[in-house]
Amino acid sequence: MPAELDTKPTEPTERLAEIRVRSPLSIVIPTYKEAENIPPLLDRLERLRVEHEIDLEVLLMDDDSRDGSVEAVRDCGYDWSRIVVRTADRGLSQAVVDGLGLARHPVVVVMDADLSHPPEKIPDLILALESGQEFAIGSRYVPGGSTDDDWGFFRWLNSRVATLLARPLTDAHDPMAGFFAFRRADLARAKYLNPVGYKIGLEIIVKCGLENVGEVPIRFTDRVRGQSKLTFREQLKYLKHLRRLYIYKFRYLSSFGQFAAVGLLGLVVNLAILSALVWVGVPEATAVAAAIAVSMMSNFLLNRRFTFGYARGGRVSTQFLGFVGACSIGALINYAVTLGVISARPSWPVQVAAVIGVGFGTIFNYLTNQFLVF
Ligand code: GDD
């Protein structure tokens, strides 16, 4: 099997005709007012099924189009296809998520109904999975891939900018694509899927942590029948979706940032309380203890509210004891590392050793709080 399917064009599909798609395949197709496109799409899938001897099921996830889609599927008479009419929680991505929940076969393909995605490329997608990729995209943006010539400049630019914005999330060249294949078992790697808008493929890549993404070049053909439902409003939802995905992908980095910020604020609280108590004449030893207690409490409350906000439902007393316990061990680590640096590098200013000690203590505190306390 070629290992370089990643970004290079594969053999033309005609030359791969002898490939048998060994795994039974579920194809999930979101549909909304696609009655005219359904028969030609199902006919092309039937040809593919026969040619490659595919054990196939096709799920058309329809948002109650009432345009004859149900009748169109019935009249085609293919026993491997069925249409599911959805009346709640409408939208392309949710329709796909529901379809994935109904799919029975180990490998899943998702594609549009409007014939813009060539079904004949499905064996190439499966080949990419079989040669080790976790996720295979029918891609417009790898060598050999293309879009119809009448894609205006602004649609092209729009698509490229959207792709660029997703770059920190995945290396894929066409993560916006709605034509892709993956192993259904990999869905278990996502705690949840909650896409907004159209980009269900990107959602699956990020939430399932799929790193190994292959791309098979396709020609994206503009639909001939019916209308695109990709409105400006849907495109704005992409920004909201991106924000969620960034927070998800870089969650440890951002929550560590919040933890560190709360820690800095705690230092300010500590110094303010200490100065105020000493100023009113409280003995220093008592003032230091009180400042530590108050700053620890404020750190706990802020971390519980923001850094680990997801754990707000837990018992406060247990969490507080865990927090204090973890931070006490963190303080000992801070102390030991600081002394270690002082003895290993006596020429360094003691403040540098202290900062290194604080760094280690903070990382320890963060990890124990993240994984054991909240
Ligand atoms: N169930 C359901 N509900 N299906 C929907 C809905 C909806 O609200 N909106 C659209 N669909 C279906 C359409 O019927 C079609 O099969 C598919 O989703 C894609 O919708 P289009 O409206 O045709 O999208 P497009 O061609 O403009 O967008 C294409 O390009 C994007 C990248 O530029 C699609 O391929 C997208 O998947 C892709 O992300």
Q: pLDDT by residue (tens digit) across 58-89?
A: 999 999 999 999 999 999 999 999 999 999 99
Q: Which pLDDT score, from 0 to 100, does residue 19 have? A: 55
Mutate to test the pocket of ligand 1, among 109, 230, 241 (most ligand atoms within 8 A of CB): 230
Of residues 7 and 259, more confidence is placed in 259
Residue 34 Cα: closest atom of ligand 1: 14
Q: Which pLDDT score, from 0 to 100, does residue 3 have? A: 35
- Please check the confidence at residue 4 and state whether its pLDDT lies above 50: no
120 Cβ below 6 A of ligand 1: no
Indicate if the alpha-carbon torsion angle 107, 112, 114, 116 is positive or negative.
Answer: negative
CA of 198 to the centre of ligand 1 (A): 7
Q: Which pLDDT score, from 0 to 100, does residue 9 have? A: 42
Residue of the CA atom closest to atom 34 of ligand 1? 178
Residue of the CA atom closest to atom 29 of ligand 1? 178
d(CA 374, CA 367): 10
Q: Which pLDDT score, from 0 to 100, does residue 311 have? A: 84
Mutate to test the pocket of ligand 1, among 29, 70, 92, 161 (most ligand atoms within 8 A of CB): 92
Q: Average pLDDT in the 161-183 region? A: 95
- Please check the confidence at residue 49 and state whether its pLDDT lies above 90: yes
Q: Answer yes or no: is the ipTM higher than 0.90.
A: yes
**Looking at 83-97, 140-154, 326-340, which range is the least confident one?**
140-154
Residue 86 Cα: closest atom of ligand 1: 1
CA of 46 to the centre of ligand 1 (A): 22
Residue type, 235: Q
Of residues 254 and 1, more confidence is placed in 254
- Tens of pLDDT, residue by residue over 149-171, are 677 777 788 888 999 999 999 99
- Please check the confidence at residue 11 and state whether its pLDDT lies above 70: no
Residue 31 Cα: closest atom of ligand 1: 14
Of residues 150 and 192, more confidence is placed in 192
- Please check the confidence at residue 15 and state whether its pLDDT lies above 60: no
90 Cβ below 6 A of ligand 1: yes
What mean pLDDT value characterizes the chain? Answer: 90
Q: Average pLDDT in the 13-29 region? A: 72
Of residues 21 and 83, more confidence is placed in 83
- Please check the confidence at residue 201 and state whether its pLDDT lies above 70: yes
**Looking at 6-20, 157-171, 259-273, 351-365, which range is the least confident one?**
6-20
Confidence class for position 18, pLDDT limits 50, 70, 90:
low
CA of 219 to the centre of ligand 1 (A): 16
Task: Give, in order, the Cα–Cα distances in Å from 327 to each of 265, 271, 301, 334.
Answer: 16, 18, 14, 10
CB 65 within 8 A of CB 163: no
Confidence class for position 14, pLDDT limits 50, 70, 90:
very low
Q: Which pLDDT score, from 0 to 100, does residue 358 have? A: 87
166 Cβ below 6 A of ligand 1: no
CA of 178 to the centre of ligand 1 (A): 8
- Please check the confidence at residue 17 and state whether its pLDDT lies above 70: no
Q: Which pLDDT score, from 0 to 100, does residue 153 have? A: 79
Residue 114 Cα: closest atom of ligand 1: 16
Confidence class for position 231, pLDDT limits 50, 70, 90:
confident
- Please check the confidence at residue 20 and state whether its pLDDT lies above 90: no
Confidence class for position 191, pLDDT limits 50, 70, 90:
confident
CA-wise closest residue to 205 among 234, 166, 243 = 166
Mutate to test the pocket of ligand 1, among 62, 112, 196 (most ligand atoms within 8 A of CB): 112
Please state the three-class secondary structure of the chain as a single string: CCCHHHCCCCCCHHHHCCCCCCCCEEEEEEECCCCCCHHHHHHHHHHHHHHHCCCEEEEEEECCCCCCHHHHHHHHCCCCEEEEECCCCCCHHHHHHHHHHHCCCCEEEECCCCCCCCHHHHHHHHHHHHCCCCEEEEECCCCCCEECCCCCHHHHHHHHHHHHHCCCCCCCCCCCCCCEEEEHHHHHHCCCCCCCCCCHHHHHHHHCCCCCEEEEECEECCCCCCCCCCCHHHHHHHHHHHHHHHHHHCHHHHHHHHHHHHHHHHHHHHHHHHHHHHHCCCCHHHHHHHHHHHHHHHHHHHHHHHHCHHHCCCCHHHHHHHHHHHHHHHHHHHHHHHHHHHHHCCCCCHHHHHHHHHHHHHHHHHHHHHHHHC
- Tens of pLDDT, residue by residue over 255-264, are 899 999 999 9
